[in-house]
């Protein structure tokens, strides 16, 4: 008999019909003797709906009142699933994050799981119950309800799997697994049988929202085998685990894209020590995270400085930059929200030279202009204009033959 933590995303529990299908499946697995913890998201669209309500009453909703509001979506779905399981004759208990012993730390609306007190969960599992836990939420030291950031139910599931010692963590979603690129953007994208934690970390970190980044970090840290599968299909999905000894590594595992960034530029500043710190210091003090940074030095001894931030921070960052620009006597400060970051990811890239130039050539031939570049051992990212996104991803998918089987 196996012990699984299974997570069902919003689309998988979007209606009572879908919840009933999930309940039947769990009932069957429970009847076969499996030990089951089920983590649920709010019903599809519900978290967005709650957020839009908050925005109707406040221009900048945040803090613990927003946490309380957003956490209510998951309460509805877990209660409905427990009722559905009980109606099928399957013993089930629904627990909020707090009731499940999930203790968090850090900022409101993006709290991190610090510790899980398993006693109650283990007790219920030993009684033979299916335990249904609200994803995306916990409680901080002062007893306040917290939420874990968008997509946070993935992290709840992996953290529970690690803490309870489950055999595998299953993430059920609306696609059949992790693909070589977002299948909504590239119809020929291929499901991957297997990915290493390292590759999935990059894919998630670079924008593939199929798994929240923090969930992959937990899985790697505690060595939890993670499987992404379709909630209503029957395939084996994608297994994310440590690198197997005999694993044949393709050069490129996949392509990630991120639409959540914006680009800012300050040009014509003096090229001298301390200028980069003067520009980025106030941005950091405003708690704005900077991702890519590029500096170009012109022949006239002045420099242009370009960086990216989250789109939500764009207006604030631009305001700060305009002020700094004034102080530094910059020629111009400007920004662009309509950009995307597209990245090639693969541990096999380590041993292959020439990937970057092939990437740039393919994009140039397709008429795609690159405005920023950043590389690491296992990824190459470019920033391009948002209208080029589809072309960019599709051209690269083709150039690197990602539709052809990697494990063949
Ligand atoms: P859930 O509601 O189940 O948490 P999400 O919307 O968070 O589902 O994640 C699934 C979505 O992730 C897919 O519908 C797909 O559009 C998107 N996605 C982005 N990149 C990938 C990828 N490489 N492989 C699979 N899905 C991807
Ligand atoms: N319901 C939350 C969201 O939509 C958490 C999750 O689904 O993982 O982001
Ligand atoms: Mg998700």
Q: Tell me the residue length of the chain.
A: 408
* pLDDT digit string, tens, across residues 272-316: 889 899 999 999 999 999 999 999 888 888 999 999 999 999 999
Nearest ligand by distance to the CA of 135: 2
254-258/226-230 β-pairing: unpaired
How high is the pLDDT of residue 338?
A: 97
- pLDDT, residue 361, reads 97
Instruction: Check pocket membership of 135 for ligand 1, CB cut-off 6 A.
Output: no
Distance 32 CA to ligand 3 centre (A): 28
Q: What is the pLDDT of residue 408?
A: 39
Regarding the beta carbon of 178 and ligand 1, being less than 6 Å apart is answered yes
CB 219 within 8 A of CB 154: no
Residue nearest to atom 12 of ligand 1 (CA): 210
Quick: pLDDT tens for 147-171.
999 999 999 999 999 999 999 999 9
Q: Which pLDDT does position 406 carry in this prediction?
A: 58
| pLDDT 10s digits, 254-267 | 999 999 999 999 99
**Cβ 173 under 6 angstroms from ligand 1:** yes
Mutational pocket test of ligand 2: of 47, 73, 102, 134, the residue with most ligand atoms within 8 Å of the beta carbon: 47
Predicted pLDDT of residue 300? 86
Pairing of strands 112-116, 102-105: antiparallel
pLDDT of residue 28: 96
Given this model, what pLDDT does residue 244 score? 65
Ligand 2 atom showing the smallest separation from residue 212 Cα: 8
Give the Å distance between the CA of 197 and the centre of ligand 1. Answer: 17
Q: How would DSSP label each residue in 96-120?
A: -TTTTTEEEESSTTS-EEEEE--HH
Q: Is the CB of 174 under 6 A from ligand 1?
A: yes
- Going 196 to 202 to 206 to 212, the CA torsion angle's sign is positive
Residues forming a β-bridge with 373 = 382
Phi first, then psi: give them for residue 67, nearest 5 degrees. Answer: -55, -45
Confirm or reject: Cβ of 9 under 6 Å from ligand 1: yes
Collapsing DSSP to helix, strand or coil, 209 comes out as coil
Task: Kindly report the protein residue whose alpha carbon is nearest to atom 4 of ligand 2.
Answer: 47
CA of 52 to the centre of ligand 1 (A): 22
Q: Residues in the chain with pLDDT < 50?
A: 408
| pLDDT for residue 349 | 85
- How many Å separate Cα 339 from the centre of its chain? 19
Task: Give the C-alpha separation, 365 to 78, whole Å.
Answer: 51
- The 3-state DSSP class for residue 242 equals coil
Output the CA 397–ligand 2 centroid distance in Å.
Answer: 29
pLDDT at 246: 57
Q: Which atom of ligand 1 is nearest to the CA of 231?
A: 3
Mean pLDDT for all residues in the chain: 94
Residues 16 and 47 sit within 8 Å (Cβ to Cβ)? no
Nearest ligand for residue 77 CA: 2
DSSP-based three-state secondary structure for 297 = strand
Provide Rg for the chain, Cα atoms.
23
Show the tokens assigned to 265.
């530029």
């Amino acid at each position: 008999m196996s012990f699984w933590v299974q997570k069902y995303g919003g689309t998988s529990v979007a209606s009572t019909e879908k919840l009933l299908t999930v309940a039947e499946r769990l009932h069957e697995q429970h009847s076969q003797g499996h030990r089951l913890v089920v983590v649920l998201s709010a019903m599809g669209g519900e978290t967005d709906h709650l957020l839009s309500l908050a925005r109707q009453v406040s221009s900048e909703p945040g803090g613990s009142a927003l946490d309380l509001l957003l956490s209510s979506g998951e309460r509805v779905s877990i209660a409905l699933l427990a009722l559905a399981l009980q109606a099928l004759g399957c013993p089930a208990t629904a627990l909020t994050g707090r009731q499940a012993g999930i203790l968090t730390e850090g900022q409101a609306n993006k709290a991190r799981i610090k510790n899980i007190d398993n006693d109650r969960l283990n007790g219920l599992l030993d009684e033979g119950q299916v335990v249904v836990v609200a994803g995306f939420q916990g409680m901080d030291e002062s007893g306040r309800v917290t939420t874990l950031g968008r997509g946070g139910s993935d992290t709840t599931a992996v953290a529970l799997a690690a803490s309870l010692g489950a055999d595998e963590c299953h993430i059920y979603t609306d696609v059949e697994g992790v693909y070589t690129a977002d299948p909504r953007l590239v119809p020929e994208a291929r499901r991957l049988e297997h990915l290493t934690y390292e590759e999935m970390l990059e894919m998630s970190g670079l924008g593939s929202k199929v798994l929240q980044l923090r969930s992959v970090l937990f899985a790697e840290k505690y060595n939890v085998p993670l499987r992404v599968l379709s909630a209503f299909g029957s395939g084996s999905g994608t297994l994310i685990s440590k690198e197997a000894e005999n694993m044949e590594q393709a050069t490129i595992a996949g392509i990630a894209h991120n639409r959540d960034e914006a680009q800012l530029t300050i040009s014509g500043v003096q090229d001298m020590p301390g200028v980069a710190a003067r520009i980025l210091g106030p941005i950091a003090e405003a708690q704005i995270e900077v991702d890519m940074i590029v500096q170009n030095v012109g022949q006239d001894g002045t420099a242009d400085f370009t960086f990216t931030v989250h789109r939500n921070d764009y207006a604030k960052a631009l305001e700060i930059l305009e002020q700094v620009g004034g102080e530094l006597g910059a020629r111009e400060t400007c920004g662009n929200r309509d950009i995307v970051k597209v990245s090639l990811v693969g541990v096999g890239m380590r041993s292959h030279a020439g990937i970057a130039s092939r990437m740039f050539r393919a994009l140039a031939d397709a008429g795609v202009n690159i405005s920023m570049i950043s590389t690491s051992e296992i990824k190459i990212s470019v920033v391009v204009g948002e209208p080029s996104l589809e072309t960019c991803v599709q051209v690269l998918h083709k150039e690197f033959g990602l539709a052809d089987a990697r494990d063949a």
